């Protein structure tokens, strides 16, 4: 037996095993009542679900970045409003004490 005969027999055996596996899969699917079209439809549905999950995850990531940016902006606005309120208190205090020229901005006690 030469090398060509061995390779041919190995390839034949592989093809035979592949055919047997395909027949067993088809038989199992037939017993389960699943047709080839249904298997393909389920495969497409699973791929679409994976795509939908990936799109959802990307959207969630984008929304989380947006929320972080908005929180940072709200924090800056809170700091600004706090400074404005503090300065307004200084101005009101200055007015009630009958002060002259209003104190410069940034004079907070």
Q: CA 57, CA 46: separation in Å to the nearest integer?
A: 16
Q: Give the up-direction half-sphere exposure of residue 6: CA atoms within 13 A in the CB hemisphere.
A: 3
Question: Across residues 62-78, what is the average pLDDT?
Answer: 95
pLDDT single digits (tens) 19-54: 777 776 766 666 565 566 777 777 778 787 777 888
Mean per-residue pLDDT of the chain: 79
* Residue that wins the pLDDT comparison between 34 and 91: 91
Residue 64 has a pLDDT of 93
pLDDT surpassing 70 at residue 11: no
Who contacts 102 (Cβ-Cβ below 8 Å, separation ≥6)? 91, 94
Who contacts 36 (Cβ-Cβ below 8 Å, separation ≥6)? 26, 29
């Amino acid at each position: 037996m030469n090398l060509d005969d061995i390779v041919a027999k190995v390839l034949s055996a592989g093809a035979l095993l592949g055919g047997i596996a395909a027949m067993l899969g088809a038989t199992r699917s037939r017993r389960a009542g699943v047709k080839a079209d249904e298997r393909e439809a389920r495969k497409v549905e699973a791929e679409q679900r994976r795509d939908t999950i990936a799109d959802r995850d990307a959207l969630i990531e984008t929304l989380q970045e947006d929320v972080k940016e908005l929180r940072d902006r709200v924090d800056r606005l809170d700091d600004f409003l706090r400074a404005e309120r503090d300065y307004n208190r200084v101005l009101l205090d200055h007015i009630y004490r009958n002060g002259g020229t209003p104190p410069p901005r940034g004079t907070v006690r």
